[in-house]
A = this chain, B = another copy of it.
């Protein structure tokens, strides 16, 4: 078993490598974006540990590269700051696990072993909120195990709301997220109403709770009632 550690802090990379080696796992390290890309494209690994903040690039880009090349390595993101949003972005890009610094090496080892086992069993990764389950890989949403037929934007909206659990999101912020670009505040954001309504309707029809709250004058938020 061989893993690649993409991490610019030499000390951290080395201590992970040492710990893994004593546990019978071969390791290679890449301290920057360019080197990491090179290694990924020329060698195969069982698992990749990926730090998001690199001196010469974004860890997410490496993830994109991996997926675009249809590489099958499992990826565990290790990041200093974890928000549910970055977690979801990570999962959306195909990461398998997410670990926040500082972490215990034993935990990393266990998770990595769990990941490799999961890979072998073709397990799926999902986000669960009460009766709602969102499968990150298949992009399917189900309520009480009943599959929902949501459009792309509806899933995107749902993830954005859940990912910012309890935080109020303005119409402008939602519009920007859904449309992708830096929609300026002068734009027409009325289409948000349609998406909110449709998503609410579908969730409700499937028997889900009313988690999308309207905060009059401020926006919307997702909240367990």
Residues in chain A within 8 A of chain B (CB atoms): 67-70, 81-84, 87-88, 91-92, 97-98, 100, 102, 104, 106-107, 110-111, 113-114, 117-118, 121-122, 124, 128-130, 137-139, 151-152, 165-168, 215-218, 221, 223-224
Inside 8 A of A124's CB, which chain B residues have their CB? 166-167
Taking the closest CB of chain B, its distance from the CB of A9, in whole angstroms, is 18
Taking the closest CB of chain B, its distance from the CB of A83, in whole angstroms, is 6
Q: A68-B128, A83-B122, A91-B107 are in contact. List 13 more A-B contacts (CB 8 A).
A: A68-B130, A69-B130, A69-B224, A88-B110, A88-B113, A91-B111, A97-B107, A124-B166, A124-B167, A138-B166, A138-B221, A139-B168, A151-B217
Is B121 in contact with A81, judged by CB distance below 8 angstroms? yes
Taking the closest CB of chain B, its distance from the CB of A220, in whole angstroms, is 11
Inside 8 A of A88's CB, which chain B residues have their CB? 110, 113-114, 117
In the complex formed, the residue of B with least CB distance to A83 is B122
- As for how many copies of this chain the complex holds, the number is 2
Inside 8 A of A166's CB, which chain B residues have their CB? 124, 137-138
Is A224 in contact with B70, judged by CB distance below 8 angstroms? yes
In the complex formed, the residue of B with least CB distance to A110 is B87
Give Cα A91 to B224, complex, Å: 24
Assuming the A-B contacts A81-B121, A122-B82, A138-B168, are A152 and B217 also in contact, with contact meaning beta carbons closer than 8 angstroms in the complex?
A: yes
Is A92 in contact with B68, judged by CB distance below 8 angstroms? no
Taking the closest CB of chain B, its distance from the CB of A122, in whole angstroms, is 6
Inside 8 A of A216's CB, which chain B residues have their CB? 151-152
Inside 8 A of A102's CB, which chain B residues have their CB? 114, 118
